[in-house]
A and B are shown apart, each in its own frame.
Chain A
Amino acid sequence: MSIVADPLVPSGPEAEATTRARRSRAGEGGRRWLPAVYLTAPMLVLIVLFLIPMLILFLISIGLGIANQDNVWTFDHYTELFHDPLYWHVAKTTVIIATSAMVAQLVVGVPLAYVMAFKAGKWELPMVLGLVVLDGLNPVVRIYAWRILLGRNGIINGSLEWAGIIDKPIDALLFNNFAVIVVLSTSWITYTVIPIYASMKAIDANLFQAAADLGAGWWTIMRRILLPLSAPGIFVAILLVYIPLFTDFATPTMVGGTSGYMLGQAVQDLILTRGDLAGGAALSFVLLIASGVVAAVAYRLSRISRLES
């Protein structure tokens, strides 16, 4: 996953410069086949390994393709999902966990980005670098580390038992929704903080002084200046983080309990445990559409807030 702020969309004066240069150079006078030299290979990869698999995923979810001699298409796999109260329950749990983790990250991430951008001084670069290094660590190893810390035979339980504070391990530390929310939040915090931090770096710090001179209080400055101006970064963070949060299955499998069963695990169980390729494909497709909606909303919001700011 990238930590680039708003990757493919140049903004502000940069965008104008891009457009101008493109117009003056390659566009009009340029040789028309030239883009194909650069783009053929990457686009073939996207068509063969992204678009076609997605198409096949859809075909299988409507009952075509594998193990179907009749070639009759059906929405049964979708209606089954929607009529099964289990999936509604799992969807509810997933939304609650993912949203809590997103909110938790924003509650920590926005102040952290602010501290990095305006207060950290010589610690600013080490902090950014620290976040990048942290993200370079293996996510499964990071989840595993939490399990070692909080698990039934983990460091906390074992140490408390050794110290004679408890007689038997406390199970409540792990295998609950709270543990999943904490671990998910720590897994994705880099992608939350960096875009917000990048958008805050673009704010002229004199604005804060000017507002203070004009009598604005701390809360007014935050609400009327900092938040609106960093809103594009916040929406990019939501775009990058919220979607993976509600499709995650490694975290709930490793540190979650039975009550925190999430949609990602349901997909995995349908396909790998029950061998129900069509059902798994249907559920994946529902997740894909949900992601698309989240992405479109976050993207729109980030564009709108940029225009306003």
Chain B
Amino acid sequence: MSHRLRLGDALALALVAVVLVVLIGPIALLTAFSFNDSTIISLPFEGFTLDWYKMALEDQGVRDSLRYSVIVAAIVAPSCVVLGTAAAWGITRFRFRGRGFWAGLLGAVLVVPWLVIGVSGLVFFVYLDVELSLKTIILMHIAVTFPLVTALVSARLVRFERSQEEAAIDLGASQWQLMTRIVLPQLTPALAASLIFAFAWSFNNFEISFFNGGYEETFPVWVFSDLRRSYNLPIVNAIATLVSAVQVLAVYGLYLLIKWLGKRRGSGDELTSLVAGGRV
């Protein structure tokens, strides 16, 4: 028995090791070679340099694409938190005619491929004769992202301790008071997570931006198009590393924030439990 257990542990360890290498390896190498003082991305290491970073940050294409992506995400994320939370509250707390239909529609947005939504957005804007721009990207990002916030927030709402809500209503609290004093404070960790994730989902979105964008290329579209301009690959390495580092820090910061909020409120909310539907 103990022998078999040890074999099982060894297999588990091997599995985790392989998964780690396959998942992190390429990004780690990308990072390593972004500091290599050579235009060719391969061994040998020709020495350490930060030149690619300097060039990347001075590159007009990089700067524009990052600026566009940040503008889009900065508008999309808060809009999605508001829309998504309102939808989550409406769907989980009320019974009304057509509730099943609307819940199903929200779910449908989650399973319809972004490719199809992107194409439908494109034909929609062409049909209406609307010129594609950052605005059309923002509109479509909001449409595909807020149902994800709804999913995140409603997973939290169905696990709520209802006594406070019910007491507030029994004591004659208005909807406004119920929201601002009871519900939203308890939802803070989920809302913080939604805001960061919605920002990331919008920032990372490629399909929708690709089909609904005009001349302004967002960052993922710029990286994708840059395949055709393969002469400045070291620059792409550098900026990809930089963006990835910021994204890792953002998620880790969110993890710490939610942990801190949970400790302060004694609710024990964890980022990991938020994403896994509370079963963790």
Contact = CB atoms under 8 A, between A and B. Distances in A.
The 6 A-B residue pairs whose C-beta atoms are closest, nearest first, are A158-B42, A7-B151, A38-B90, A49-B143, A53-B124, A247-B113
Interface string B1-17: 00010001100100110
Interface in A243-262: 243-244, 247-250, 253-254
Given A14-B158, A18-B92, A119 B175 contact: no
Interface string B154-198: 110011001001100100000100000000000000000000010
Contacts of A253: 224
B4 A218 contact: yes
Contacts of B152: 2, 4, 7
A271 interface: yes
Interface residues of B, number: 110
A27 B97 CA distance: 11
Nearest to B121: A53
Interface residues of A, number: 112
Nearest to A278: B123
Nearest to B221: A140
Contacts, number: 331
Nearest to B247: A136
A21 interface: yes
Contacts of A15: 158
A273 B55 CA distance: 32
Nearest to B205: A139
Nearest to A28: B95
B275 A138 contact: no
B277 A4 contact: yes
A53 B123 contact: yes
B22 A194 contact: no
Interface string B80-121: 001110110111111110010011011111111111110111
Given A3-B275, A129-B271, A25 B119 contact: no
A122 interface: no
A229 interface: no
Nearest to A145: B26
B142 A49 contact: yes
Interface in B1-48: 4, 8-9, 12, 15-16, 19, 22-27, 29-30, 33, 40-44
A142 interface: yes
Contact of B95 (A27, A53, A54): A27
A128 interface: yes
Nearest to B92: A18
A27 B204 CA distance: 40
Interface string B211-234: 100000001100110010000010
A215 interface: no
A54 to B, nearest CB: 5
Interface stretch (B56-64, B236-244, B261-269): B236-244
Contacts of B227: 147, 254
Interface string A186-212: 100100001101110110000000000
Given A1-B201, A194-B275, A201-B280, A50 B117 contact: yes
B206 interface: yes
Contacts of B148: 1-2, 4
Contacts of A102: none
A284 B120 contact: yes
Nearest to B234: A148
Interface string B115-151: 1110111111011000000000001101100111011
Nearest to B22: A186
Interface of B: 4, 8-9, 12, 15-16, 19, 22-27, 29-30, 33, 40-44, 82-84, 86-87, 89-96, 99, 102-103, 105-117, 119-124, 126-127, 139-140, 142-143, 146-148, 150-152, 154-155, 158-159, 162, 165-166, 169, 175, 197, 200-201, 203-204, 206-207, 211, 219-220, 223-224, 227, 233, 236-237, 240, 243-244, 247-248, 250-252, 255, 270-272, 275-277, 279-280
B94 A30 contact: yes
A10 B279 contact: no
Interface of A: 1-8, 10, 14-15, 17-18, 21-27, 30, 32, 34-35, 37-39, 41-43, 45-46, 49-54, 56-57, 60, 65-66, 108, 111-112, 115, 119, 125, 127-129, 132-134, 136-142, 144-149, 153-159, 161-163, 182, 186, 189, 194-195, 197-199, 201-202, 218, 239-240, 243-244, 247-250, 253-254, 264, 267, 271, 277, 280-281, 284-285, 287-288, 291-292, 295
A149 B43 contact: no
A14 B126 CA distance: 45
Contacts of B24: 134
Given A65-B127, A163-B43, A136 B15 contact: no
B277 A250 contact: no
Contacts of B248: 133, 136-137
Contacts of A194: 275-276
B274 to A, nearest CB: 8
Nearest to A60: B123
A169 B234 CA distance: 19
